[in-house]
Amino acid sequence: MELDFGPAVRDFRDEVRDWLTDHLVGEFAEHRGVGGPTDGAAWEVRLAWDRELSAGGWLGVGWPKEYGGRGLGLLEEIVFEYEYARVNAPYRATVNALDLLGPMLLKMGGEAQKKRFLPPILAVEELWGQGFSEPGAGSDLASVRTRAERDGDEWVVSGQKVWTSFGIHADWLYVLTRTDPQSARHKGLSLLLVPTDQPGVEIRPIRNLAGQDEFAEIFLSDARTSADMVVGEVGQGWRTAMATLGIERGTTLLPQQLTFEREAEALIDLARERGALDDPMLRRRIVDAWISVRIMRTTNLRTIAELTAGRTPGAQATTAKLYASTRHQQLGQLATELAGPAGQIVGEDYALDRRQRSFLLALAETIYGGSSEIQRTIIGEQVLGLPKEPRP
């Protein structure tokens, strides 16, 4: 896929291209395409790569200069992400802070919080983990039970969080807590920033089905954080948490898109190699896999075009995740079928090749960031205006 985002950003594009050509070398180049939203492979190399990006000033392209960013616009961010994905650079280890916490602080945080936390994110000095889900609060996030109480100048936090991606690496957590013990559901919640380096925080890795210690469960037992570590207002944590969820900024679409396109090409090569293109049943599924990847591309481009034109994205922005996640799973399953018995053999210590990893990790895509069922409910109620389900 070759995209031209117009003359206004051509110089910028060349600058990105040149930098990547000069710096994506050696060990970094050997790790092209490594890592993903749920893939913690080669963590240390990727962290080093993030520091390389940071030194070049390429983290926070759209963040204000005063916090260490480049202060550029959405179009430049998209161009950067596109060029980045085009050369298949490693998936950034700091993505949680860059894509989720950072934008949330920029939008809802106090000035002191922004000054304190944003520069170390861009300098790759502090890593972040998300403390939203709990054992009893998954899709129904509003039922969080982790409590936070004031004790003098501090909050004291107790409870259990789970499914924190790359949680074992986190220096800080952003935690959704219940600060009003009398409250129910969306009310009485607050979003707290909690340091992990203290006795009251225990982080244990959870092994995912691909055999990686990619996410974690977190036990908070009288963990402490200072009183000014509330993002947004006390009691308004739901608003804070939701402020940046569901806002598609277009920047995350292209990297994933290019990965899927590479996988579709690899699928066709594999089919050709194994003589599967002569089988009409397989042939149909292969063509359908290619069609779905191409449709994802056009859907993404529609959204990006609307965003960069300053328009509100259409309904396709709300259905894109549902479509992409389900079709990506089908693609992985077809590729694994085509790989035959050889595709069933793994390396030592359950070492997986790229196809095997993608095949398994794709299963998370219909779960994280709002499961497909939650997506359908949101689309039904918020886009189509269908009535809510009565709550007992």
- What residue ranges bind other proteins (CB under 8 A)? 3-6, 268, 271, 277, 283-284, 286-288, 290-292, 294-295, 298-299, 301-302, 304-306, 309, 311, 314-316, 319-320, 322-323, 373, 375-377, 379-381, 383-390
Task: Compute the least distance from the CB of residue 314 to other proteins, in Å.
Answer: 8
Residue placing its CB nearer to other proteins in the complex, 1 or 25 = 1
- Tell me phi and psi for residue 128, to 5 degrees: -120, 150
Q: How far apart are CA 259 and CA 349, in angstroms?
A: 26
Task: Compute the least distance from the CB of residue 17 to other proteins, in Å.
Answer: 18
Place of tokens 């950072």: 102
Task: Compute the least distance from the CB of residue 38 to other proteins, in Å.
Answer: 23
Which segments of 56-198 does DSSP mark as H helices, in order?
74-86, 95-96, 102-108, 111-122
Residue 295 neighbours by CB distance under 10 Å: 15
Helix (H, G, I), strand (E, B) or coil at 249: coil
Which segments of the chain does DSSP mark as H helices, in order?
10-23, 26-30, 43-55, 74-86, 95-96, 102-108, 111-122, 237-243, 253-273, 280-308, 316-339, 354-361, 372-378
Angle, to 10 degrees, between the axis of helix 280-308 and the axis of helix 253-273? 160
- How far is C-alpha 150 from the geometric centre of its chain's CA atoms? 32
Residue placing its CB nearer to other proteins in the complex, 229 or 320 = 320
Task: Compute the least distance from the CB of residue 82 to other proteins, in Å.
Answer: 11
Active site residue 248: yes
Task: Compute the least distance from the CB of residue 384 to other proteins, in Å.
Answer: 5
* SS3 annotation, 211-222: CCCCEEEEEEEE
The active-site residue out of 149, 248, 261, 306 is: 248
Residue placing its CB nearer to other proteins in the complex, 31 or 327 = 327
Residue placing its CB nearer to other proteins in the complex, 2 or 348 = 2
CA distances, 176 to each of 138, 142, 192 (Å): 13, 9, 7
Q: Which amino acid would we find at residue 272?
A: R
Task: Compute the least distance from the CB of residue 326 to other proteins, in Å.
Answer: 9
How many helices (DSSP H) and strands (DSSP E) are in the chain?
13, 8
Read off the tokens for 60. 């926070």
CA distances, 256 to each of 22, 170, 280 (Å): 24, 24, 29
Residue placing its CB nearer to other proteins in the complex, 150 or 311 = 311
Residue placing its CB nearer to other proteins in the complex, 206 or 282 = 282
Residue placing its CB nearer to other proteins in the complex, 3 or 74 = 3
Task: Compute the least distance from the CB of residue 367 to other proteins, in Å.
Answer: 16
The residues annotated with a catalytic role in the active site are 248
